Chains A and B, each alone.
Chain A
Amino acid sequence: MSGAEARPPDAAAAPAAQALTPPTSSGPLSAPLLHFFQALRDAGLRVSVAESIDAFAAVAVTGFSERDALKDALGLVLAKTLAEKEAFARCFDLFFARDALAALAREATPPSAGGRVEDGSALAEMLLAGDSAALVVAMEKAANSAGISEIGFFTQANIYGRRILDAMGLEALDREIEALHRQGAPEAAARADRLDAQRRRLGEAVRDFVRRQLALHAAGKTRAMREDFLSKAKLTNLDRSDFQRMHGLARVLAKRLASKHARIRRRTRRGQLDLRRTLRQNMATDGMLFRTAWKRQKIERPKVTAICDVSGSMASVARFLLLFLYSMHEVMAGLRAFAFSDRLVEVSDLLEHNDIEPAIAAILREVGFGSSDYGRSLEDFERSGLWLLDHQTSVIIMGDGRGNYSNPRTDILEAISKRSKRVIWLNPEPQSLWGSGDSDMLRYRPYCHYAGVCNSLRHLERAMTDLLEG
């Protein structure tokens, strides 16, 4: 933690700040900045090593005591999106807030007034002198030795507060107060009273400090833990309250996939000579045109058609698959989406024009929870969707392949497979159940370029990445 350095120069911290020049990355300033980076990371910012070096360089230019300049400079170097800028501003204000201790300084009486005790503890001296700069430094030191940046939960606040106070020498202070009380002399009693009052304020200041640290560090940790859990959890085990968070995750995932694979492919446009490149290529042959170079033109991104089973047997995962479908639709232009149980409908428009919750509800209302009939649904697709497919289209089918003993119509899947670039089948059931009971998965599998288990976001991501890269 820093702080003494962040105070305006008129505050009592000036001597401490001066002691800290020149600001170099190995100097005493590095600790507070490093802790600040930790706080930023906990708030979800990605602070790389290169950026932290930049931050040190920026601080070396701007200095510490000009709070606004410091904030602007660090913000320029560390926060790289609008969302990050907001998180940064919040973190900065929390991190460099130092108001609680100012009260201590105000309440303190000049050290000359009052019975001095020879073996007065350092903490007592600081408290009586109201030396807030020294107190801040002591508190930071104590906080670091207590490992404050590890704090993760609200329930830990008291423990950390206690540890900080102990490290600052509270025990010695308490003994001193007790000793003063026992002395009984009026001067000693007065000193004891003052110390008591300052001790209370110190306690408040530390509690305040710990709360701020909690706000800085804990939110990120709990969120990271929760998201990690969600991305590994089986889709079937999740409940509705996780939905919102899941949407965020699915969206990030879909976005990552889309931007990674939105590579622009090139195609030769026939009939147009690229004169410059042709001349250049034929330099070696004395300008005789042996080899020709043609102008190239960019063509569209890879196309994706998604088909999602929302029947009764898929009820527990359908919402999440639709969620992923929706996220994919948000980030991939031109995605065609279909949903089916006993019949198949195109839902691209529903996804396009509605918010996520209504869109999913509408899809489920329209075709959801019926008994699935893969054969009929594939027939529907043959009629309405087959013409969409060409050699650039990836078809993603999400379903368990359980068709209630209806005709599986694998011939249509074969046609789909032939027409499209690839067919990806994501099945929420474990592989051991494929082909058991009414599952036609094993019959469909030969026509899929990839058929895999997918029952968590992590699976989903892995499967999609493998496939889109291939």
Chain B
Amino acid sequence: MNDLDSSTRAAIDAVIAGLARAGYISSRQIATAVFLAQHLQKPILVEGPAGVGKTELAKATAAFLGLPLIRMQCYEGLDEAKALYEWKYAKQLLYTQILKDKLGEELNGVKSLAAAVKRLHGAGDIFFSEQFLEPRPLLRALQQPCGAVLLVDEVDKSDQEFEAFLLEILSDYQVTVPEIGTIRARVPPFVVLTSNNARDLGDALKRRCLHLHIGFPDPKLEQRIIEVKVPGISETLRRQIVALIQQLRREDLRKLPSVSETIDWARVLLLLHAEHLEAAMVRDTLNVLLKFEGDVSAVESKLPAFTDQARRAAGETV
């Protein structure tokens, strides 16, 4: 038991390190999810506010596992033909032409109609065969010889019908093409679904997935994320940025600044050669953090106080 446990811990640490190499700083919980998904061969459903790195997780996992990333963006109206497979119509049309030309040769010497039909049957039904199948992301993910990371992005934007249709793929890693039969995955892909909670997903889908909720990171983690993503920035500024962002997230805003906004802002401040936060500079660059006019005007008056607090929290004497 102890061996098993220490190996668990080591394995999770290895996942954290691997994701970090791919440029993704993960919490233990995220790493546990990736680790479990690998071992249980289950999809991960990632939920959380926009911009906390849900899509990024899939990309980093692909880099970490050394597998190709196959991405499928969901939207209202997405259907099987765009997600799974499509027949190559033009090719099929050509094939009928060729078939017509060859038909005479093929049926040479056949007397009755029944015999002709029999011979045609013998020629095999290649009209609906994998040759004429145009794989779309889902099918492509199943066909990869060494497996793949399949990212089903913003699954909440798709229709309920599509969600139901995903179930077969997610639980058995196979799809059924009526004309051909069932196609199984050679190596089950590592599936990541992301959702912004635009609508509630069905229970059936949730039941088949590991459910990972990524919230806003704690200050320590966020500092490390900035450290990795925006290398040239000084430690004091990094601390001040994170302290200020964490304060903003406590405000009652329409759209709270997310990790992606933090990174953008850090880049902006780096470009401006900022040494530390100043109220005027924060006000000028606020539109990087807050995306609604109402939010900006709501916090504008509090900015000097926030800036002071952030500097104090970062250990600087003001």
Residues of chain A whose beta carbon lies under 8 Å from any beta carbon of chain B: 9, 14, 17-18, 20-21, 46, 48, 50-51, 54, 57-58, 61-66, 68-69, 72-73, 75-77, 79-82, 85, 259, 263-264, 276, 279-280, 283, 286-287, 298
Contacts and interface: CB of A to CB of B under 8 A. Distances in A.
Contact of B40 (A14, A57, A68): A57
Interface of B: 1-2, 4-5, 8-9, 12, 28-29, 32-33, 35-36, 39-40, 42, 44-45, 47, 76-77, 81, 86-87, 89, 92-93, 96, 100, 159-160, 199-200, 203, 206-208, 210-213
A79 B159 contact: no
B206 A80 contact: yes
**Pairs of residues from A and B, 4 with the lowest C-beta to C-beta distance, nearest first:** A72-B32, A63-B5, A76-B210, A80-B206
Nearest to B128: A283
B207 A66 contact: no
Given A51-B207, A76-B210, A276-B86, A65 B5 contact: yes
B87 A280 contact: yes
B213 A69 contact: no
9 contacts: A21-B1, A54-B42, A62-B8, A69-B12, A76-B36, A80-B45, A276-B86, A280-B89, A283-B96
Contact of A9 (B2, B29, B200, B203): B2
A298 B93 contact: no
Contacts of B159: 264
Given A21-B1, A62-B36, 9 more contacts: A14-B2, A18-B2, A61-B40, A62-B5, A63-B1, A75-B29, A77-B211, A276-B86, A283-B93
A69 B207 contact: no
A9 B211 contact: no
B134 to A, nearest CB: 11
B5 to A, nearest CB: 4
Contacts of A80: 45, 203, 206-207, 211
Contact of B36 (A46, A50, A61, A63): A61
Interface of B (DSSP majority class): helix
A64 B1 contact: yes
Contacts of B33: 72, 76
B211 A69 contact: no
Contact of B160 (A66, A263, A286): A263
Contacts of A264: 76, 159
Nearest to A263: B160
Contacts of A283: 89, 92-93, 96
Contact of A63 (B4, B203, B206): B4
Contacts of A279: 89, 93
Interface of A (DSSP majority class): helix
A14 B81 CA distance: 56
Contacts of A20: 1
A6 to B, nearest CB: 12
Nearest to B45: A80
A469 B5 CA distance: 52
A276 B210 CA distance: 37
A183 B293 CA distance: 86
Nearest to A8: B5
Interface centre among A21, A62, A82 (most CB of B within 10 A): A62
B210 A61 contact: no
B212 A76 contact: yes
Contact of B28 (A18, A72, A263): A72
A58 B203 contact: no
Contacts of A64: 1, 5
A73 to B, nearest CB: 6
A20 B33 CA distance: 25
A58 B89 contact: no
A72 B2 CA distance: 18
B301 to A, nearest CB: 25
A14 B89 CA distance: 66
B29 A72 contact: yes
Given A48-B207, A63-B1, A54 B93 contact: no
Contact of B89 (A77, A263, A276): A276
B199 A259 contact: yes
B91 to A, nearest CB: 11
Nearest to B93: A287
A61 B12 contact: no
A85 B213 contact: yes
Nearest to B208: A50
A17 B1 contact: yes
Contacts of B89: 276, 279-280, 283
Given A62-B8, A73-B36, A287-B96, A82 B2 contact: no
B8 A66 contact: yes
Nearest to B47: A82
A58 B36 contact: yes
A73 B4 CA distance: 15
Nearest to B212: A76
A54 B43 CA distance: 12
A48 to B, nearest CB: 6
Given A80-B211, A287-B93, A298-B76, A68 B28 contact: yes
A203 to B, nearest CB: 32
Contacts of A69: 5, 8-9, 12, 28, 32
A46 B199 CA distance: 19
Nearest to A68: B28
A396 B88 CA distance: 50
A14 B2 CA distance: 9
Contacts of A75: 29
Contacts of A276: 81, 86, 89
Contacts of B208: 50
Contact of A46 (B4, B92, B203): B203
B123 to A, nearest CB: 17
B96 A286 contact: yes
B212 A61 contact: no
Contacts of A57: 40
Nearest to B86: A276
